Structure 1
Amino acid sequence: MGKDMSEQNAADRFAVQDVLLNYTCAVDERDMVQYRNCFADDVEVVGFGEEVFHGGDVWTEYVTEALKAYGPTQHMLGPMFAKIDGDVAHTRTDVQAHHYLIDAPKTTLTLWATYKSDMKKIDGEWKITRHELVSRGTRIQSDQ
């Protein structure tokens, strides 16, 4: 027997939230296989600098290289706002990302931002099809 709409909606909401939770956990744990699994093959990523990235492999390669500038990181997500329509979701999630700089271990960079992520259910799994970072501010602090 199939799930009624409210049960399916709740299941989809949890699954969509899990995509971004997996995303942040994978970044902080440097698990790039788990990270890549969050994205559709044809994902578009904007807001992480001037370049627009096309493709899950291209984006994951970029992030893998970018993370080499940082020691430990911690990405904390606020509650997700999601609009789900069948197999498509539009989400908005606030993030605070704390980064220790590898070349200056007593210096941290904190980013306050919003992730605007579009997702689609592909082969039964939610994947990010478009990911945008909207920066709200940054702070560099040294404990020296």
Structure 2
Amino acid sequence: MSSEHDRTALQDLMLRYAAGVDERDYDLYASCFAEQLEVVGFGEKSFNSKEAWLDYVWTALKGYGETQHMLGPQLATIEGDTAQTRNDVQAFHSLLDQEAQHFILWATYKTEMKKFGGAWKITRHELVVRGTQSQ
């Protein structure tokens, strides 16, 4: 597989990640992750399995109305069947039952991926918060 094909596949993986959340498509979102998964930076707790992460995300989404995750261009380093990527993200969240109506996040996703049976999956996902705003 060519480097260009892998780069496109890595970009598509992160776009599926964002679309899965914003469309509330559990199956699409879940398909982005390897079973062995580490997630850090989303609050004080880290997550060490796909199941724990999905439970956390789907529970957290109950506190939001519409969301939109906009990703900047991806920087990717590919070595065989592993890759490290960096995506800037601006995430807009409509809040339910809170004083503020909106929460906006500026951050960077630092993500490690591995190819399993020809398909890229996220194995480690880190959120680096750059700033937030509640309105």
AA aligned to 2:43 is G
Other structure's SS at 1:54 match: coil
Tell whether 2:9 aligns with 1:15: yes
Q: Residue 59 of structure 2 corresponds to which residue in structure 1?
A: 65
Give the aligned CA root-mean-square deviation in angstroms: 1.2
Distance 1:104 1:116 in 2: 30
Q: In structure 2, what is the Cα distance between the partners aligned to 1:74 and 1:136? A: 17
Q: Kindly report which structure 2 residues correspond to 1:87-126, keeping only aligned pairs within 5 A, or say none.
A: 87-104=81-98, 107-126=101-120
Give me the identity figure in percent.
56
TM-aligned CA deviation for residue 33 of structure 1: 1.0
Q: Are the aligned partners of 2:100 and 2:134 in contact in 1 as well (CA < 8 Å)?
A: no
Quote the Cα distance in structure 2 between the aligned partners of 1:36 and 1:54: 15
Q: Helix, strand or coil: the match of 1:84?
A: strand
Q: Distance in 1 between matches of 2:100 and 2:44?
A: 28
CA deviations on 1:63-86 (whole Å, 9 max, x unpaired) are 000000000000000000000011
Question: Deviation at 1:106?
Answer: 7.0
State the partner residue of 1:74.
Answer: 68
Q: Is it true that 1:138 corresponds to 2:132 in the alignment?
A: yes
SS in 1 for 2:45: coil
Distance, in Å, in 1 between the alignment partners of 2:98 and 2:40 is 28
User: TM-score, length-normalised on structure 2?
Assistant: 0.97
Q: Which runs of 4+ in 1 moved over 3 A?
A: none
How far apart are 1:104 and its partner, in Å?
4.4
Alignment gaps of 5+ in structure 2: none
Q: CA deviation at 1:57?
A: 1.3
* Secondary structure of 1:53 counterpart: coil
Is the 1:83–1:91 Cα contact (8 Å) retained in structure 2?
yes
The AA in structure 2 aligned to 1:72 is E
1:38 equivalenced with 2:32 (yes/no): yes
Which consecutive residues of structure 1, in runs of 5 or more, have no partner in the other structure? none
SS at match of 1:73: strand
Q: CA–CA distance in 2 between the matches of 1:33 and 1:57?
A: 12
Shift of 1:95: 0.1
Matching residue's letter, 1:57: E
CA contact (8 A) 1:116 1:131 kept: yes
User: SS at 1:12's partner residue?
Assistant: helix
Q: After superposition, what is the alpha-carbon deviation per residue over 1:16-60, rounded to whole angstroms, capped at 9, x for unaligned? A: 111100000000000111111100001100000111101111101
